[in-house]
Amino acid sequence: MAQYTLENLLQLMLRLRDPETGCSWDIRQDFASIAPYTVEEAHEVADAIARSNYAHLQEELGDLLFQVVFHACMAEELSLFDFYGVLDGLVEKLLRRHPHVFPDGTLNSTRSAADTVSETEVNRRWQEIKRWEKHSSGKDQSQGLFDDIPTSLPALKSAQAIQEKAAEQGFDWPDIAPVFAKLREEMDELEEAWNSGDQAAVRDEAGDLLFSCVNLARYVGSDAEQSLLGANHKFKRRFSYIESRMLEMGRRVQEGSLAELDALWDESKRAGL
């Protein structure tokens, strides 16, 4: 049974930031110094999910929640907003963006099963509401399509966000066949650049190939960042298996031939790693 509440967490944060009796490290932090930790904690949540380590996920979600509380506490000190303002804004926005669930815009509203809408329609309405919000907030309507994509996003996440926004404007392939064709085209161009010895062209074409890989992941409904994270973990599991098997034979990985290592790699796959 839970011992502590959200109120306890907010109280703890206030104590940590108390100028006289708080923690010296917490007291000297500001938005800029805490931001990298916020990003790091979000990545650790994603990592726990990729590993299916749900006990660890609980801990990491707590760490991420603490980051939200930390930022809100600093904002309250500057009379910008507080944690409850964050909550209010979030709930209001989610109610507004889910009219198919909350038809009158309140938590008490209900809908019948007959009112169910498709996921495609849900996504269309979501984007329509976001555009309305942007217009109503008075945000600069001359902003470019990609201006609100955070520059701090990892490259794969950024690429997918860029492609999704372009697709919303109709700039997308009609089916998957040309997506595969584009990927092959980029591979050929990278090989051509490599054979030419032009390193600048190699870097450029390698980027185009990665961008096309992200586009394929997006098209098949996969999150590129999560897909690659999963592949990273899979590679490490299989390579750790090779290390263990080589140690059993009294040898190090670098002492094995490529054929031996490939055979152990296939063995790891058969073992379900």
Same domain, 96 and 162: no
262 and 164 in one domain?
Answer: no
Residue 146, in any domain of the structure: no
Question: Is residue 201 located within the same domain as residue 243?
Answer: no
pTM tops 0.75, yes or no: no
In whole angstroms, give the CA distance from residue 105 to residue 97: 9
DSSP string, the chain: -----HHHHHHHHHHHT-TTTS-HHHHT--HHHHHHHHHHHHHHHHHHHHTT-HHHHHHHHHHHHHHHHHHHHHHHHTTS--HHHHHHHHHHHHHHH-TTT-TTSSTT----GGG---HHHHHHHHHHHHHHHHHHTT--TT--TTTTS-TTS-HHHHHHHHHHHHHHTT-S-SSSHHHHHHHHHHHHHHHHHHHHT-HHHHHHHHHHHHHHHHHHHHHTT--HHHHHHHHHHHHHHHHHHHHHHHHHTT--GGGS-HHHHHHHHHHHHHTT-
Same domain? For 123 and 45 the reply is: yes
Does residue 153 come out as left (phi exceeding 0), alpha (psi in the -120 to 50 range) or beta? beta
pLDDT at residue 249 greater than cutoff 90: yes
Do residues 212 and 186 lie in contact, with contact meaning Cβ atoms separated by under 8 Å? Answer: yes
Q: Are 237 and 273 in contact (CB under 8 A)?
A: yes
Q: Does 182 have pLDDT greater than 60?
A: yes
pLDDT at 31 over 60: yes
The CA–CA distances, whole Å, from 92 to 73, 95, 111 equal: 21, 5, 18
Contact 38, 71 (CB under 8 A): yes
Q: Is residue 237 part of a domain?
A: yes
142 lies in a domain?
no
CATH number at residue 56: 1.10.287.1080
Burial of 186 (0-12, 13-18, 19+ CB in 10 A): buried
- Asked whether residue 62 falls in the same domain as residue 177, the answer is no
pLDDT band (50, 70, 90) for residue 18: very high
Mean pLDDT calculated for residue range 40-59? 90
163 and 204 assigned to the same domain: yes
Block residue for tokens 């055979």 = 263
Domain end among 136, 166, 193:
136
Convert the pLDDT of each residue in 122-161 to its tens digit: 777 777 777 777 777 666 556 788 888 888 788 999 999 9
Q: Which two tokens stand for residue 5?
A: 């509440």
171 within some domain: yes
Look at residue 132 in the predicted model and tell me its pLDDT: 76
Q: Do 103 and 119 share a domain, yes or no?
A: yes
Is residue 116 very low, low, confident or very high in pLDDT (cuts 50, 70, 90)? confident
Q: How many domains does the chain have?
A: 3
pLDDT, tens digit, 9 for 90 and up, residues 259-268: 999 999 999 9
Rounded to an integer, what distance in angstroms lies between the CA atom of residue 36 and that of residue 234? 27
Q: Is residue 40 part of a domain?
A: yes
Question: Are 183 and 233 part of one and the same domain?
Answer: no
How buried is residue 161: exposed, middle or buried, by Cβ count under 10 Å (0-12/13-18/19+)? Answer: middle
Residue 147 covered by a domain: no
Is the dihedral angle over the CA atoms 40, 41, 47, 53 positive or is it negative? positive
Same domain, 178 and 163: yes
Q: Are residues 72 and 174 both part of a single domain?
A: no
Has residue 150 been placed in a domain? no
173 and 128 within one domain: no
Same domain, 249 and 203: no
Domain assignment of residue 171, given as a range: 155-222
- Residue 94 in any domain: the answer is yes
Nearest to 186 by CA among 156, 209, 216: 209
If phi > 0 it is left, if psi is from -120 to 50 it is alpha, else beta; for residue 29 that is: beta
Confidence bin at 114 (pLDDT 50/70/90): low
| Mean confidence (pLDDT) of the chain | 91
